[in-house]
Amino acid sequence: MTLLLTGSDETVHGILGAMRFVSTGGASRAFEGPAADLVHALARTFDGARTDLDIGGTVLDADGVWASADEALSELCSALPDERARHEAMVAGTLCLLMRDDFDPAGEQALEAMSEAFGVDEEAAGLIASLTQSSAEVAGADLFRRFLAERSDESLEVISARIDRLEEPITTSPEEFDAYVELLHGSPEGSVGSELLRFYRHTGYEVPGAPGIPPLAVLGNHDLHHVLSGYSTSNNDEVNVSMFTASNSADGGLYYLAVVLLQWHHNLKISPFDPSTSVLDPDELAQAAARGATTTADLSDRSWDWQAVIPEDLHDVRQALGVSPGGTVGDGGAWDARGLGDR
* DSSP codes joined into one string, 138-184: HHHHHHHHHHHHHHSSS-HHHHHHHHHTT--SS---HHHHHHHHHHH
Do 236 and 229 touch, CB atoms closer than 8 A?
no
How many Cβ atoms are within 10 Å of 124's Cβ, its own excluded?
Answer: 17
* Whole-number Å distance between alpha carbons of 272 and 284: 14
pLDDT at 274: 46
DSSP string, 253-278: HHHHIIIIIIIISTT-------TTT-
Bridge partners (DSSP) listed for residue 313: 191
H or E segment to which residue 228 belongs:
helix 221-229
**Amino acid 247: pLDDT:** 82
Q: How far, in Å, CA of 194 to CA of 312, rounded? A: 10
**Residues paired with 191 in a beta bridge:** 313
* N-terminal to C-terminal alpha carbon distance within the chain: 39
Q: Identify which of 141, 41, 21 has the alpha carbon closest to the alpha carbon of residue 89.
A: 21
Backbone angles phi, psi at 255, to 5 degrees: -60, -45
Q: 10 Å Cβ neighbour count for 166?
A: 6
Per-residue pLDDT tens, the chain, 343 aa: give them.
Answer: 667 777 788 888 899 999 999 999 999 999 988 778 878 877 877 766 666 666 666 778 877 778 899 999 999 999 999 888 888 888 888 878 767 666 788 888 898 899 889 987 665 555 555 555 554 444 444 445 445 545 556 665 665 675 566 566 567 889 999 999 999 999 999 999 999 999 999 988 889 888 877 788 777 888 999 999 999 988 778 778 888 888 888 765 565 555 444 444 334 443 333 444 445 676 787 788 889 888 999 998 878 899 999 999 999 999 999 999 999 999 999 988 666 666 5
**Residue 241: its pLDDT value, please?**
85
Domain boundaries, the chain: 3-134, 174-321
CB under 8 Å to 297, separation ≥6 — which residues?
304, 321, 322
Q: Contact, 89 vs 13, CB < 8 A?
A: no
Q: Could you count the other beta carbons within 10 Å of the beta carbon of residue 295?
A: 21
Question: What span, in angstroms and rounded, lies between the C-alpha atoms of 23 and 38?
Answer: 9
DSSP 69-93: HHHHHHHHHHH--SHHHHHHHHHHH
- For residues 303 and 151, is the Cβ–Cβ distance under 8 A? no
Are the CB atoms for 306 and 299 separated by under 8 Å? yes
Tell me the pTM. Answer: 0.66
SS3 191: strand
The answer for residues whose C-beta is within 8 angstroms of residue 148's C-beta and 6 or more apart is 154, 159, 169, 170, 218
Q: How far apart are CA 229 and CA 238, in angstroms?
A: 11
